[in-house]
Amino acid sequence: MLLLDSLLRLVSFYSGNATLQLLRLETGTVAKSPNMKTFSQGGINAPMFLGFKTSMQDLNFHYQDDLNTTMERLFYQQVEKSTCDIQYLKFGDHLPLEEIWLGVVPIPSDHSFKNLKSLFVVECEYLPNVIPFYLLPFLCNLEEIHVINCKSIKAIFDVQDMRVDMKLPSQHSLPLKKLILSQLPNLEYIWNLMSDEFLSLQSLQEVYIYSCEKLKSLFPTSVANHLVMLDVRDCARLVEILVENEAALKGETKQFIFHCLISITLRKLPELKYFYNGKHSLEWPMLAYLDIYHCDKLKLFTSEHNSGEVADIEDQVGISNHQQAIFIVEKIFPNIEQLSLKKEDAMAISHGLFQAKVIPELEHQAITTEDTMIMRRQFGANAAHLLQNLKLLTLLCYHEDDESNIFSSGLLEKIPNIENLRVACSSFNEIFPSLKPSAGCTKIVSNLKGLYLDFLLKLSSIGLEHLWVEPLLKTLETLSVRGCPCLKILVPSNVSFSNLVYLNVYSCHGLDCQAIQEIVSKEGVPESNDDEIIITFRQLNALCIESLPSIVGFHM
């Protein structure tokens, strides 16, 4: 008996030209070996052979003419069965199915790929697109697409030729729920005819797009209906998220209500100007997580009174476009739990700089400078109050003023319930200054449970040793520091954490500055007998120290 089981790369039993003498072979089983098409390239002498089974449970033996003919017939039968049964397809693991997918061989059955739910294309260098138009009618259960690190791909869905094939409907709907695209340097389109006339993705919930340098827009407007997660990063040429044909752009104001969208992450998109380039209104009733940074051409926030205002921008060919702010702070802030703000936006929110010069009920009255300042202060106070559900605040891009600190905007001390603070991509020398900035700062630090410091290239001190920061030492549970090249000491040894549970320090040599030598330092502590010094971490149960090549000890 011959048993060949789960040999995914096996294409033949023998590839030479010699004659195989299998004088006593009676039966064989070839199971889960989808690429085996030929038994032997040479002759075969198997006088007692009765046939193959396709599994150990198979009760029937399959035989036709000879071993090779039998193997080839079983191969095509198994390919047809696989196309009908397969739920998870990864390119590179199923060569016969890939040949069908690419149109090299005909689609064997009307039921082919009907059960396919997940498609993975990883490091594939021969595909111009991922989903050919002729496969769309078969992918009635496809829920996930993952395309990663493929240099040849220019489009995910090929729909340009759909009208040519009269057998296809004018529009096809896919039940796709998750789309992940990463490291696709030549990707130009999600689908190469940007219109929902041909393809509908009404069920799409999660979109993750990373490092697609040539991508300029994402989806037609119809895709927005059921989005839950939108995460787009490092796409250097992306200009807009949702697109519409030119005729629709000239029409009435388009209303978008993102009933399901919970989280938006937009990072390092230097050319992004529009969520939608046309007259529109946006509503985000469920939005709780908002993380946007290094999208400097995108207008983010406005107030209700200013929501109709647009910024006139001329593109390279001189066409004037209306750029509207994406978020009305009074509408989105009450639900926000995690928020990222660059310095300018934090200042604008805190000081009411979004406040209209003339509000509707006062449009026929003279507004003095003093009135304007009063309205701005009221707006700033109200906007901060609207952030009562905020749990994590990220402050970003404090670069212009070397004397600034995390309290400079005036916003932080107005947020009542903040529990976690992240400071990133800024030029601070110190997080907590030696002098308390304002009376409200003590309350803020006494509520913090997590402090995250990321990529602060000039940071030389956190400032946890200052007296006014002492309440933080009693509540802080998580301290994470990464990418801070000038930081040599986290805290002096007279600093004691009462509730610290998680300490994470890594990549603090930054740009070849491999500086940290110890975690807990003697600096700032009076001379005494070392035996009398007790350093206590009562709640610490996890300690991660990574990529610190100069460290010589935890406490010296």
- What's the per-residue H, E or C state across 207-241? EEEECCCCCCEEEEHHHHHHCCEEEEECCCCCCEE
Q: How far apart are CA 126 and CA 93, in angstroms?
A: 15
Dig out the tokens for 446 from the structure: 């006494």
- Report mean pLDDT in 10-residue bins for the chain, 556 residues: 82 86 85 81 85 80 82 82 91 84 87 95 91 90 97 88 56 90 95 68 94 93 87 96 69 85 96 89 94 93 68 39 80 93 86 52 45 48 75 88 72 84 92 85 89 92 91 93 86 83 76 56 57 67 70 68
Q: Which of 230, 169, 229, 178 is nearest to 201 (CA)?
A: 178
Which of 208, 184, 189 lies closest to 263 in space, CA to CA?
Answer: 208
- The residue length of the chain stands at 556
> Using an 8 Å Cβ cutoff, are 230 and 207 in contact?
yes
Distance CA 548, CA 546 (A): 6
Count Cβ atoms below 10 Å from residue 18 Cβ, excluding itself.
Answer: 10
Beta bridge pairs of residue 282: 256
Query: Please, which residues have CB within 8 angstroms of residue 362's CB and are 6 or more apart in sequence?
Result: none
Using CA atoms, how far residue 128 sits from 33, 276, 492, 501, in Å, is: 28, 28, 57, 49
Token pair, residue 111, equals: 């039921």
Answer yes or no: are the C-beta atoms of 396 and 342 closer than 8 Å: yes
Count Cβ neighbours within 10 Å for each residue of 545-554 and write b for 16 or more, e otherwise. Answer: eeebeebeee
Please give the structure tokens belonging to residue 162.
Answer: 């759909």
220 contacts 242 by C-beta, under 8 angstroms: yes
Residue 151, token pair as written in the block: 């240099």
Q: 247: exposed, middle or buried (C-beta count within 10 Å: 0-12, 13-18, 19+)?
A: exposed
Q: How much is the pLDDT for 353? A: 65
Please report the sign of the dihedral spanned by the C-alpha atoms of residue 32, residue 38, residue 42, residue 43: positive
Can you tell me the distance from the alpha carbon of 465 to that of 387, in angstroms, rounded to the nearest whole number?
Answer: 29
Is 164:133 a contact under the CB 8 Å cutoff?
no
Q: How many CB atoms lie within 10 A of CB 386?
A: 19
Q: How far apart are CA 126 and CA 190, in angstroms?
A: 18
| SS3 call for 374 | helix
Structure tokens at 88: 């998870």
Burial of 185 (0-12, 13-18, 19+ CB in 10 A): middle
Residues whose CB falls within 8 Å of the CB of residue 209, separated by 6 or more in sequence, listed in order? 179, 180, 181, 182, 215, 218, 231, 232, 233, 235
Closest CA to 124 of 87, 93, 96: 93
| pTM check: above 0.85 | no
Nearest 5°: the CA angle 479, 481, 485 is: 155
